[in-house]
Amino acid sequence: MVKVMYPIECCVDLAAENQRWHDDLAHDPPYAQSVFEIARVHFDIVRSRDQQLQKLVHMSNSLGPLRKQLASSDVVVTDSMVFVVVALALVSEAFDELDDALMHLRGLHTMIKLRGGLAALAHKRSLQIKCCRVDLALTMRTGEKPLLFSVDSLMWKPYLADTAKTPMVPWHTLVDNPDIRLVNVWLDLRDFIISVNLAHQTKRKISPVLFQEVLISVQYRLHNLAYSSHDRQETLRLAMVALSASLFLGVHSLHSRPMHCKRLEGALGASLRAFDETGGKAYLELNLWLIFLGKMSGLDLPEDRPCLEQNLLKTTRALRLTTWVEVRLVLKGFLWVDIFHDDAGERIFISAKSAEITSPG
């Protein structure tokens, strides 16, 4: 569970995370039964993903107490009920049963509205965050817009960055009249990644609250923006979606879950294939970062890999970069998480250089 909630858990202070679910287990028997059944489903997943009948029985059992509570004419939506539906959505998503997961998510949305909105869960911050995580995870899987926050309900100012002290983004010369909302998301991600890199270097930890709140702010804003497929800002938006998802939601290996992020694969891949060797330095450096990000996020389709490898080599040659140290210095000018990207990036570079050396002609 830790690796699901915190893919970069080595930099997150898990000791500060307050888990008080035992109180609910003691005082809410239907909730306790539901959690028990969902836990059984989890262990079924661990043992074998083929136990379909047993899984369905457990899922039905877990819903039974909740259905009885909701059928009451004077129903009051409790924290326990909300948690059970979140867990059911996550289990369905884990089984790739996205229709069921979306059904649970819509039910969760209705329950939260009955409670008066997410603000009504403020007394249990971890539950608020779990609701947002399942909403965002299913947005990544299905391409549906997130339900819990919309364009009109979002704050578009920076969450972390101080714009009065912040320099321009590294791609500002490549976009005419950049959308300040997208710029602010980039700046927030940049400041957050600086904190993660510093925590790793000094062997310190960042707050799990900061970790999760940045997740919520960045992901919801990105999913509520969209640009023309020919607009470079759409490529940047998709790149930030892929990066933030790999950090916050653990979507760092799409090969094992082929339904993940198909629209990212297609849209970002098309941009990466459209290489312009005559582009200026800013364009080439951005292209280099996008290639590495696409490959490390698993968004390079098999048929694209030879082309992307060639583009990587062409870009490094155009920039006169011959070593990994030189390449990494360029990549660090964008969004780069040392502990997450250094080893994978070096392997990609070495592989490309080896292929160049061994290729005929």
167, part of any domain: no
Give the pLDDT mean for 309-326. Answer: 92
131, part of any domain: no
356 pLDDT higher than 60: yes
Query: Residue 30: which domain range?
Result: 21-123
Residues 342 and 204 in one domain: yes
Residues 208 and 115 in one domain: no
289, part of any domain: yes
Residues 224 and 281 in one domain: yes
Residues 265 and 119 in one domain: no
Whole-angstrom distance, CA of residue 97 vs CA of residue 360:
47
Residues 207 and 308 in one domain: yes
Pick the last residue of a domain from 123, 156, 180. 123
259 pLDDT higher than 60: no
- pLDDT-derived band at 89, boundaries 50, 70, 90: confident
Instruction: Give residue 2's pLDDT.
Output: 45
- pLDDT-derived band at 146, boundaries 50, 70, 90: very high
More confident residue, 277 or 179: 179
Residues 177 and 285 in one domain: yes
Pick the last residue of a domain from 62, 92, 123. 123
Structure confidence by residue, pLDDT tens digits, 11-29: 565 555 555 556 666 666 7
Whole-angstrom distance, CA of residue 155 vs CA of residue 157:
6
- pLDDT-derived band at 6, boundaries 50, 70, 90: very low
Beta bridge partners of 206: 12
Residues 202 and 266 in one domain: yes
Give the pLDDT mean for 94-119. Answer: 88
Domain count, the chain: 2
Give the pLDDT mean for 128-136. Answer: 89
3, part of any domain: no
Residues 214 and 345 in one domain: yes
- pLDDT-derived band at 319, boundaries 50, 70, 90: very high
Give the pLDDT mean for 348-355. Answer: 88
Whole-angstrom distance, CA of residue 140 vs CA of residue 150:
16
Whole-angstrom distance, CA of residue 130 vs CA of residue 113:
16
Pick the last residue of a domain from 123, 156, 182. 123
Structure confidence by residue, pLDDT tens digits, 155-209: 888 888 876 766 678 888 888 889 999 999 999 999 999 988 998 888 888 777 7
Do residues 160 and 214 touch, judged by C-beta distance below 8 A? yes
Q: Exposure of 112 by Cβ count < 10 A (0-12 exposed, 13-18 middle, 19+ buried)?
A: buried
Instruction: Give residue 343's pLDDT.
Output: 93
Residues 105 and 208 in one domain: no
104 pLDDT higher than 80: yes
More confident residue, 134 or 7: 134
Instruction: Give residue 172's pLDDT.
Output: 85
144 pLDDT higher than 90: no
Do residues 50 and 75 touch, judged by C-beta distance below 8 A? no
Do residues 186 and 160 touch, judged by C-beta distance below 8 A? no
4, part of any domain: no
Percent of the chain, pLDDT > 70?
68
Residues 187 and 63 in one domain: no
Give the pLDDT mean for 47-58. Answer: 54
Q: HEC profile for the chain?
A: CHHHHCCCHHHECHHHCCCCHHHHHHHCHHHHHHHHHHHHHHHHHHHCCCCHHHHHHHHHHHHHHHHHHHHCCCCCCCHHHHHHHHHHHHHHHHCCCHHHHHHHHHHHHHHHHHHCCHHHHCCCHHHHHHHHHHHHHHHHHHCCCCCCCCHHHCCCCCCCCCCCCCCCCCCHHHCCCCCHHHHHHHHHHHHHHHHHHHHHHHCCCECHHHHHHHHHHHHHHHHCCCCCCCCHHHHHHHHHHHHHHHHHCCCCCHHHCCCCCHHHHHHHHHHHHCCCCCCCHHHHHHHHHHHHHHHHCCCCCHHHHHHHHHHHHHHHHHCCCCCHHHHHHHHCCCCCCHHHHHHHHHHHHHHHHHHHHHCCC
Residues 272 and 349 in one domain: yes
353 pLDDT higher than 80: yes
- pLDDT-derived band at 350, boundaries 50, 70, 90: very high
Write down the mean pLDDT value for the chain.
78
Instruction: Give residue 17's pLDDT.
Output: 53
Structure confidence by residue, pLDDT tens digits, 223-257: 999 998 788 898 899 899 989 888 877 643 343 34
- pLDDT-derived band at 61, boundaries 50, 70, 90: low
139, part of any domain: no
346, part of any domain: yes
Residues 289 and 188 in one domain: yes
Instruction: Give residue 292's pLDDT.
Output: 92
151, part of any domain: no
